[in-house]
């Protein structure tokens, strides 16, 4: 069962729709309506990126976030430049195993 969490800011983009699926260990982040995404790409780290018609980042799907946090790995999202995600921000929306 997924749980909706408070907003999360990554690289200057504040995602107001934050949904974490603990069974799949997938974090879904979006700005506004997910239907606004019309372009899709993948970051070098394997995160799924979604963009609107003006090529603004509007969504990120991150797989294995809890696993990475529990292993102490830094999480980076290249959008299109690398931005390190604060562990404290992610721990706030991804519950411990």
pLDDT per residue as tens digits for the range 67-83: 999 999 999 998 876 56
Look up tokens 């200057």; give the residue.
Answer: 12
- Omega within 30 of 0 (cis) for the link into 26: no
- Omega within 30 of 0 (cis) for the link into 80: yes
Q: How far apart are the first and last CA of the chain?
A: 14
In angstroms, rounded to a whole number, what is the distance separating the alpha carbons of residues 94 and 28?
A: 11
Number of domains in the chain: 1
In angstroms, rounded to a whole number, what is the distance separating the alpha carbons of residues 30 and 2?
A: 15
Q: What residue numbers bound the domain in which 54 lies?
A: 3-93
Q: Note the pLDDT of residue 96.
A: 77
Q: What is the pTM of this model?
A: 0.80
């Amino acid at each position: 069962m997924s749980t909706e969490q408070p907003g999360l800011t990554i690289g200057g983009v504040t995602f107001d729709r934050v949904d974490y699926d603990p069974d799949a260990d997938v974090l879904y982040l979006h700005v506004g309506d997910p239907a606004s995404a019309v372009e899709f790409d993948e970051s070098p780290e394997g995160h799924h990126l979604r963009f609107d018609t003006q090529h603004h980042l509007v969504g990120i799907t991150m797989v294995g976030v809890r696993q990475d946090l529990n292993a102490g790995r830094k999480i980076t999202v290249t959008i299109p430049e690398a931005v390190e995600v604060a562990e404290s921000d992610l721990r706030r929306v991804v519950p411990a195993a």
